[in-house]
Chains A and B, each alone.
Chain A
Amino acid sequence: MENFFIGAGLALGFLTLLCLYRAIVGPTVLDRIVSIGVIGTKTTVILLLMGFIYGRADMFVDIALAYALLNFLATISAAKFFRTRKSIQPGHKYFKEREGRE
């Protein structure tokens, strides 16, 4: 059973790497926020898996809940922060003006 948990954790880690591609390349800031949120959900599950592998599920559950709360707060506050920025889309006139100036 422990081998199954380790394999499942490796699979989730591989999916996290795939999401990281979108976080690096993503055309707008909001794409990056979405992919960081997805990575956070997977990390919660991976933390629970670690608790079962080490046999200390009671301790890692608290850490996983704290991580889920922080992930939600980070997503909400980042979305709130970038809401008033009009310039996050590439090809927006802000970027063209800046390129013309350089």
Chain B
Amino acid sequence: MITVLSILLFLAGVFFFFTATVGLLRMPDFYCRMQATGKGDTLGAFLTITGLALYNLNHGFTLAAVLVSLKIMFIVVFIFVANPTATHAIAKAGMDCGVEPWTKEGGNT
């Protein structure tokens, strides 16, 4: 039961990683690429790592297994705080360097 749930979570996470990657390859300019990566990466990492933490509890709730799952969830919390912050930092760097945004009418960068 736990195994099936963790496999489902993991597959959903891989799907969102896939969307982030396709967005990174297809979007026309730098700001739109960050729209795809900043979101898809955060949710993909959350789902995959939560799936692994659930699978780790498969063999019973011993103290060591619970500690390892807790550590894995700490990585998720860290990624959740750090990923949007890194996105802001890169976006601000792009604004300060004067990377011009792509618009529908204006054509290329």
Contact = CB atoms under 8 A, between A and B. Distances in A.
Interface in A55-102: 57-58, 61-62, 64-65, 68-69, 72, 75-76, 79-80, 82-86, 88-89, 91-92
B82 to A, nearest CB: 4
Nearest to A89: B99
Interface string A12-47: 100100110110000110110111011001101100
Given A15-B21, A30-B93, A65 B78 contact: yes
Interface in B70-100: 71-72, 74-75, 78-79, 82-83, 85-86, 89-90, 92-94, 96-100
B45 A45 contact: yes
B24 interface: yes
A74 B17 CA distance: 21
A84 B5 CA distance: 47
A57 B71 CA distance: 10
Please indicate which of the listed interface residues A49, A65, A68 has the most CB atoms of chain B within 10 Å of its own CB: A68
Grouping DSSP codes into helix (H, G, I), strand (E, B) and loop, the B interface class, with mixed when no group exceeds half, is helix
Contact of B92 (A49, A58, A79): A79
Given A27-B109, A37-B86, A41-B41, A82 B97 contact: yes
A83 B37 contact: no
B93 A68 contact: no
A4 interface: yes
Interface of A: 1, 4, 8, 11-12, 15, 18-19, 21-22, 27-28, 30-31, 33-35, 37-38, 41-42, 44-45, 48-49, 52, 57-58, 61-62, 64-65, 68-69, 72, 75-76, 79-80, 82-86, 88-89, 91-92
